[in-house]
Amino acid sequence: MTTEPLLSVENLHTTFTTDAGTLTAVDGISFEIEEGETMCLVGESGSGKTVASESITRLVQSPPGEVQGTVEFRGRDIGEMDDTELREIRGGDVAHIFQNPQDALNHCYTVGWQIVEAVQSHEPNTGREAARERAVELLTEVGIANAAARLDDYPHEFSGGQKQRVMIAMALVTNPELLIADEPTTALDVTVQAQILKLLDRLQDEYGMGILFVTHDLGVVAQIADSVVVMYAGKVMERGSVLDIFEQPSHPYTRALIECLPGGERSIDGIPGTLPDPVDPPEGCRFAPRCEHAVPECRTDDHPEESPVSGDHLAACIYYKPGYDATVIHGPETDAQANATGGVTND
């Protein structure tokens, strides 16, 4: 018997109507998350990863946004849900935490008020006192010292890391099965980042949550991911287990990203060029204009389909199609492994 994935996203498209034309932020991506799994969605700023994560529970503002494709949570199609069901699943089974904890909490209300609101949105019968007690428990759980006394403090009286802890506590209110974390540590300094990652790791074990972790930071990916999906310009470039991605990065884009890590070949210069125009993307492979291995065939037709590198490890690159020699990209196997692991351990 095959088990159903926790979340299954198929051919997700998210477009925005703008004055310049239709902007395609997410262009047909698919992925699955198993129960208790941590999947990292990786890509540089503007690659569409945040929009993809917000398309899952339809948080994208519509209009101008429009989400197409199938998103199934435990076999239930989120796209078919009415407003009431959507509200139940948002913050119920699927919780979110966001990039910038400074603005993610409403500055006009106390932290306790906002957690109580989250509780009562899903359990209208819970009284205020009971909800407050629950808030104290959760705040203690995420490591806010003296939680009972801090319940009536306002967000500006908390530090950035503490605010993110409050956000996490708020997300845990309903014991969610999936936590969508959109760059939750990007706005925090490195020591706080490590604490938050450790906290998420502990909570994942405790609550058995699946986590969709959106980040541009490959160092974080190496630390927490089970599987990885690499995105560029709204398309999936490469996917595989965390070992696949770091030991045998196969798409030129993934390789370039890894080389950008501190100590890597590109740690100073980065990847030359910029993201393509999302209103009018180039023909062929989205990464071709910036790719050093691109051949003329890369610039025609559609974006290449994902071809197997090995097992579940897929790369959307012409070199992995039959008839092309992939060693052009990663060189002799041993060499590639040495490069990749070297890059990671340095971080």
Q: Which residues bind another protein (CB under 8 A)?
A: 54, 57, 59, 61, 83, 87-92, 95-96, 98, 100, 103-110, 117-118, 121-122, 154, 156, 167, 170-171, 173
- Identity of the residue, 98 or 287, whose beta carbon is nearer to another protein in the bound complex: 98
Burial group, residue 189, by CB count within 10 angstroms (0-12, 13-18, 19+):
exposed
- Tell me which residue has tokens 């990847």: 271
Phi/psi for 236 (5° steps) reads -85, 130
Nearer to another protein, 104 or 144 (CB): 104
Question: Nearest 5°: CA angle at 27, between 25 and 28?
Answer: 145
The smaller minimum CB distance to another protein, of residues 100 and 241, is found at 100
Question: In angstroms, what CA-CA distances link 319 with 243, 252, 306?
Answer: 21, 10, 11
Structure tokens at 15: 């477009």
**Residue 104 beta carbon to another protein: minimum distance, rounded to whole angstroms:** 5
Amino acid in the structure at residue 234? G
- What's the closest the beta carbon of residue 178 comes to another protein, in angstroms? 12
Is the four-CA dihedral 239, 284, 218, 292 of positive or negative sign? positive
User: What per-residue string of b and e applies to 232-250 under the rule 16 or more CB within 10 Å gives b?
Assistant: bbbbbbbbbebebbbbbbb
| Cα Rg of the chain, angstroms | 21
Closer Cβ to another protein, 17 or 341, answer by number: 17
* Least distance (Å) between residue 170 CB and another protein: 6
Residues 312, 318, 319: CA angle, nearest 5 degrees? 80
Describe the strand order of the beta sheet including 235-241 as a list of residue ranges.
94-97, 178-182, 210-215, 38-42, 227-232, 235-241, 313-315, 307-310
Task: Give whichever of 57 and 185 is closer to another protein, judged by the CB atom.
Answer: 57
Query: Cα–Cα distance between 116 and 248 in angstroms, integer?
Result: 47
> Measured from the CB atom, is 53 or 250 closer to another protein?
53
Residue 184 CB, nearest approach to another protein (Å): 12
Q: Which is nearer to another protein, 54 or 244 (CB)?
A: 54
Residue 107 beta carbon to another protein: minimum distance, rounded to whole angstroms: 6
Least distance to another protein, CB of residue 128, Å: 15
Closest approach of another protein to the CB of residue 210, in Å: 16
